[in-house]
Amino acid sequence: MLETSFLNKQFTNPLVLASGILGVTAASLNNVIKNGAGGVTVKSISLEPRTGHPNPTMVPYKHFFINAVGLANPGIEKAIEELIKFKKLSNAPLIGSIFAGTPEEFGEITERICEAPIDFLEVDISCPNVSREFGDPFAYSVSAVEKITKSVKIKSKVPISIKLSPNAWNIDAIAKAAEASGANAITAVNTISGMMIDVHARRPVLHNKQGGISGPALFPIALKCVYDIFKAVKIPIIGTGGVTTGEDALAMIMAGATLVGVGSAVYFRGVDCFAKITSEMEEIMKEEKIKSLDEIKGVAHS
């Protein structure tokens, strides 16, 4: 009922671990598969290790998270080791994830991560928490997206998905530019910029002051982004942002997503959220007499 084909790769269900959740170790990624995910996305990797921003970097609220981790990661060398280990533990689809500061550097790290047994490559051009280091996210610029997509496409041995920002006012045009430049898929979306202030301390709660908002509060924004992108491109979409329930996941598919990224739900519902969400999806599908996800993909556009 939930089996999904994405770029000629079979997934037992459409749920994939979103990038940035539960680290980059083989054991943690495999644990997600054991708890019901159809595939996993590794935390975004850079050429060199990054410590990220000073604490506090992540604060939970009732309906959302705010974070400014700062793309902390162990660097490409260590990441490749863990990705190789993961594939020895599981044959589930593995999505690599990268970020860089220039189109040329994106090409360089693409070549390196393709040494690992990844099935797809997600290209993070949209993190909102490192603007002081990298400037405005590339995801706001059509020309930047074109350059990066072409740079990655030339070097990649696997299909690529460009990860876009909900902050982009022209997200449909950005998606079109990625598609025209060779992207095989779109990941929509990253977190949206926000801020929280502690009124007792009289200062922002994050050391970085601003951060990315994820969790249920992001869901309706992400859903509209997926809906708009589906109208603009023919390539498949990984719908990500605030998905917490089976109803959320089905709504993403009805908006046009093929795969559904799940991240902060791990905090709100536990690591077994994947099994809970798929069970809820199946229950709703039985009630609605839906036999397969292909029946409802993009149906909200009818």
> Tell me: the pLDDT tens digits for 263-297?
999 999 999 999 999 999 999 999 999 999 999 99
Per-residue pLDDT at 210: 93
Q: Which residues make beta-bridge pairs with 59?
A: 66
Q: Which residues make beta-bridge pairs with 195?
A: 210
Rounded to 10°, the helix 76-89/26-34 angle is 40
Percentage of residues in the chain having pLDDT higher than 90: 88
> pLDDT tens for residues 89-111?
999 999 999 999 899 999 999 99
pLDDT-derived band of residue 128, with 50, 70 and 90 as boundaries?
low
Determine which one of 114, 127, 225, 273 is catalytic.
127
- Residue 166: is its pLDDT beyond 60? yes
pLDDT-derived band of residue 71, with 50, 70 and 90 as boundaries?
confident
Please tell me the distance from the alpha carbon of residue 68 to that of residue 78, in angstroms, as a whole number: 22
Q: Tell me the HSE value of 174 on the side-chain side, using a 13 A CA sphere.
A: 28
Per-residue pLDDT at 53: 87
Whether residue 42 contacts residue 94, with contact meaning beta carbons closer than 8 Å, is answered with yes
- Residue 1: is its pLDDT beyond 50? yes
Per-residue pLDDT at 22: 81
pLDDT-derived band of residue 239, with 50, 70 and 90 as boundaries?
very high
Residue 195 DSSP SS3: strand
Please tell me the distance from the alpha carbon of residue 59 to that of residue 219, in angstroms, as a whole number: 18
Please tell me the distance from the alpha carbon of residue 261 to that of residue 150, in angstroms, as a whole number: 25
For residue 147, the enclosing domain spans 4-301
Mean pLDDT of the 166-176 span: 95
Give yes or no: 114 in active site: no
What residue type is 23 in one-letter code?
Answer: G
Q: Report the candidate in 62, 219, 240 with the shortest Cα–Cα distance to residue 161.
A: 240
Please tell me the distance from the alpha carbon of residue 86 to that of residue 109, in angstroms, as a whole number: 20
Q: Report the candidate in 195, 213, 298, 202 with the shortest Cα–Cα distance to residue 254.
A: 298
pLDDT-derived band of residue 133, with 50, 70 and 90 as boundaries?
very low
Mean pLDDT of the 82-90 span: 97
Structure tokens at 23: 């680290």
Q: From residue 120, how far is each of 151, 191, 248, 298 by CA, in Å?
A: 16, 21, 24, 23
| Structural domain total, the chain | 1
Q: From residue 45, how far is each of 78, 106, 195, 255 by CA, in Å?
A: 10, 11, 25, 29
pTM (2 decimals)? 0.95
Question: Which DSSP letter does residue 73 get?
Answer: B
Q: Report the candidate in 170, 168, 173 with the shortest Cα–Cα distance to residue 193.
A: 168
Structure tokens at 108: 């360089």
Per-residue pLDDT at 70: 80
pLDDT-derived band of residue 24, with 50, 70 and 90 as boundaries?
confident
User: Phi/psi of residue 198, each to 5°?
Assistant: -80, 110
Q: From residue 103, how far is each of 106, 124, 143, 151, 186 by CA, in Å?
A: 5, 12, 11, 6, 18
Residue 64 DSSP SS3: coil
Mean pLDDT of the 207-231 span: 97
Mean pLDDT of the 23-34 span: 92
Per-residue pLDDT at 134: 52
Whether residue 97 contacts residue 42, with contact meaning beta carbons closer than 8 Å, is answered with yes
What CATH code is carried by the domain that includes residue 155?
3.20.20.70
Mean pLDDT of the 193-213 span: 96
Rg (CA), the chain: 18
